[in-house]
Amino acid sequence: MFKEQNAVMSTYNRFPISIVKGEGSYVWDQNGIKYLDYTAGIGTCNLGHRPVTVESALQEQLSKLWHCSNLYTIPHQEQLAEKLTANSIFDQVFFCNSGAEANEAAIKLARRYAQKVKQTNQYEIVTFKQSFHGRTLATLYATGQEKIQDGFAPRTPGFRYLPYNDFDALDQLVQEETCAVMLELVQGEGGVNPADQAWLDQLVKLCKANDLLIIVDEVQTGMGRTGTLFAYEQYRIDPDIVTLAKGLGSGFPVGALLANNKVAQAFTPGSHGSTFGGNPLAMTAGSATLEQMTSSSFFPELSKNIEYLWLELQTVCKQFKQVKGLRGKGYLIGIEVEGQAVDYVHRAREEHQLLILVAGPKVIRLLPPLTTTKLEIDQFINTIKTIFAD
Q: Sort 389 into a burial class: Cβ within 10 Å, 0-12 / 13-18 / 19+.
A: exposed
The identity of residue 151, as a single letter, is G
Q: Is 110 annotated as a binding residue?
A: no
Distance CA 256, CA 28 (A): 30
Residue 132 in contact with ligand PLP, rule: CB under 6 A: yes
At residue 333, the 3 state secondary structure works out as strand
**Candidates 98-106, 284-292, 318-326, 355-363 — which segment interacts with ligand PLP by CB under 6 A?**
98-106
- Considering only CA atoms, which of 286, 275, 264, 297 is closest in space to residue 371? 297
Q: Tell which one of 24, 48, 51, 188 touches ligand PLP (CB under 6 A).
A: 188
Indicate whether 104 belongs to the interface with ligand PLP (CB under 6 A). no
How far apart (Å, rounded) are the C-alpha atoms in residues 58 and 283? Answer: 9
Residues from 24 through 43 that contact ligand PLP (CB under 6 A): none
- Using the minimum distance from each CB to ligand PLP, give the nearer residue, 217 or 240: 217
**Binders of ligand PLP in range 133-172 (CB under 6 A):** 133-134
**Is 135 within any annotated ligand binding site?**
yes
Closest CB to ligand PLP: residue number: 99
Contact assessment for residue 232 and residue 242, using Cβ atoms and an 8 Å cutoff: yes
Residue whose CB is less far from ligand PLP, 219 or 387: 219
Instruction: Answer yes or no whether residue 124 interacts with ligand PLP by CB under 6 A.
Output: no
Q: Is 251 annotated as a binding residue?
A: no
The region of 58-66, 96-104, 207-215, 371-379 touching ligand PLP under the rule CB under 6 A is: 96-104
- CA angle, residues 168, 326, 336, in degrees to nearest 5: 85
- Residue 266 to residue 389: CA distance in whole angstroms: 56
**Could you give the CA distance from residue 53 to residue 149 in angstroms, rounded to a whole number?**
40
* Residue numbering of the annotated binding site for pyridoxal 5'-phosphate: 99-100, 132, 217-220, 275
Interface contacts to ligand PLP, rule CB under 6 A: 98-100, 103, 132-134, 184, 188-189, 217, 219-220, 245-246
